[in-house]
Structure 1
Amino acid sequence: MEALEMAAVGLAGVAAGGLNAVVGSGTLITFPTLLAFGFPPVLANVSNNLGLVPGTLSAAYGYRREMKGQGRRLVRFGTASLIGGLIGALLLLKLPADAFQAVVPVLILTACALVLLQPRLNRRLKRRGERGKRDGGVPMWCGVLAAGVYGGYFGAAQGVLLMGLFGAFLLDDLQRLNAAKNVLASLVNGVAAVVFIAVADIDWPAAGLIAAGSTVGGLVGARYGRRLPPVAMRGFIVVVGVTASVAMIARA
């Protein structure tokens, strides 16, 4: 990569790390950036996943105060995230590359729709203050497992999916649930990254640039992201996501 491309990938990593800490969907920034510079879709997805792991970890660290008292919840749902992330990563590697290229535009557009629906999900979460369940039972565990499969396979809006599940099943403060979301996303991305390192081709310079940027972005997002106008943030994600979908459909 040339210097300008390296700078763009690094900045995309910063933006993705910040978005993942607060909203989720950072993949909708970094993945299209790699595609724009000519990366094949599967290579871009694998390198992007690996690069975003430090960012999700830094976001989880930034929310460490909100994680107090959630140990049992994180262990319970963490097992679902680990299993789901492993399955999703293996599906990415086993399914034909053409299948991935065909399904990604649909996944991106679905993720964009979830981002647009996030305010409604958050309002539902608040309305359930007295009615929500403590752990969601088997349906919640299975939902986290499914979100993990999705996250290991692609991952855009994985955080929004998790927050939607939390809103439907759990009783807790929104920021505490966001902290749990960051931990579960870290587990999914982490186990998928281990699989990719072991058996997949990775563009290490790109992954390294995204890793450096997302680490900074995750810390900044955890600290300051709540002050950003959510409407502007969601609008930017949707514009990038739709652009990526159109670009991939045009390449097909």
Structure 2
Amino acid sequence: MLAGIVSGLLASIAGLASLASYPALLLVGLPPVLANVTNTIALVFAGIGSTISSLKELHGHWKKVLLFIVLSLLGGIAGSLFLLLAPAASFEKSVPFFVLTAGILIIISSFRKIKTNTAKNNNRWISLLSLVGIFLAGSYDGYFGAGGGIIYLALLSLVVKDRFVTVNAMKNVIASAANLIATIIFIFKFNIAWLTVIPLGIGLLVGGYLGPIIIRHSNVHFLQILIAFASFGLAAYLFIKTYL
């Protein structure tokens, strides 16, 4: 449950829940693919907690959020189906690179500033590419999920001109939707380790609720940098474990 609370905080603050939850599931003996499936299902609880806690920031943005949710859901379906078809060995070897990419993206998103004087045509192309990117992020989220929230956060920073706390709240809802559709598919395809999902999910619910509250009163940039370096450490650990 402690791993769940930490993961819920990481999920709702910067989208890196799996920095804590995925290694914890591996430590208790779950194989990589089953650990990923269990992790994805439990992450739905973090989405519930963070959404309830972020209703203030989400007010007036639901129309835009619903568009993003549809795109991420379609991507989540594609990603979860790909996971069912891909060999477990190839999945395990790809995990360190996914986590490393997530760390790089969080640094990019933490330094990115939206320029208000960008030409309208450029804004349209950026918006279009970002919408496609949200679909691809949903695919990634359905396939693995670790760092998926960071990818959403980086993309949303291109199309949503609002405070970080609002962009982050949108990210939490979108990532939760992708996890939910992947969960529905996994329930019918896998033997779920429910005795592991339940305590992890309770922790994620608590951590997910507390995360947005912490963001409102913290130096967000500093938190993002810390989590980025944590993701680099996890990527290095997983790389050594897999390849050496």
Normalized against structure 1, the TM-score is what?
Answer: 0.86
- Cα separation, partners in 2 of 1:134 and 1:59, compared to 1, 3 Å: farther
Structure 1 residue 155 corresponds to structure 2 residue 145: yes
Equivalent of 2:45 in 33, 42, 54: 54
Normalized against structure 2, the TM-score is what?
Answer: 0.89
Q: Quick one: distance in 1 between partners of 2:166 and 2:228?
A: 21
Q: Quick one: distance in 2 between partners of 1:156 and 1:130?
A: 34
Where do 1:207-222 residues align within 5 Å?
A: 207-222=197-212
Does the CA contact (< 8 Å) of 1:93 and 1:200 recur in 2?
no
Indicate the residue corresponding to 1:115 in structure 2.
Answer: 106
Equivalent of 1:26 in 7, 17, 26: 17
Superposed displacement of residue 161, structure 1: 1.0
Aligned residues: 237
Q: Quick one: distance in 2 between partners of 1:116 and 1:249?
A: 26
- Cα separation, partners in 2 of 1:35 and 1:23, compared to 1, 3 Å: same
Superposed displacement of residue 27, structure 1: 1.1
User: Which amino acid in 1 is paired with 2:84?
Assistant: L
CA offsets per residue over residues 65-101 of structure 1, 9 Å max, x none?
1111112201211110110011111111111111211
Equivalent of 1:246 in 235, 240, 244: 240
Q: Quick one: distance in 2 between partners of 1:240 and 1:102?
A: 14
Q: Quick one: distance in 1 between partners of 2:117 and 2:201?
A: 40
Indicate the residue corresponding to 2:166 in structure 1.
Answer: 176
Paired-residue identity, % = 31
Superposed displacement of residue 140, structure 1: 2.5
Q: Quick one: distance in 1 between partners of 2:215 and 2:6?
A: 11
Q: Quick one: distance in 2 between partners of 1:26 and 1:116?
A: 16
Q: Quick one: distance in 1 between partners of 2:200 and 2:233?
A: 21
Deviates more, 1:77-86 or 1:218-227: 218-227
Equivalent of 1:234 in 224, 228, 231: 228
Equivalent of 1:85 in 71, 76, 90: 76
Indicate the residue corresponding to 1:66 in structure 2.
Answer: 57
RMSD in angstroms over aligned alpha carbons?
A: 2.1
Structure 1 residue 128 corresponds to structure 2 residue 115: yes
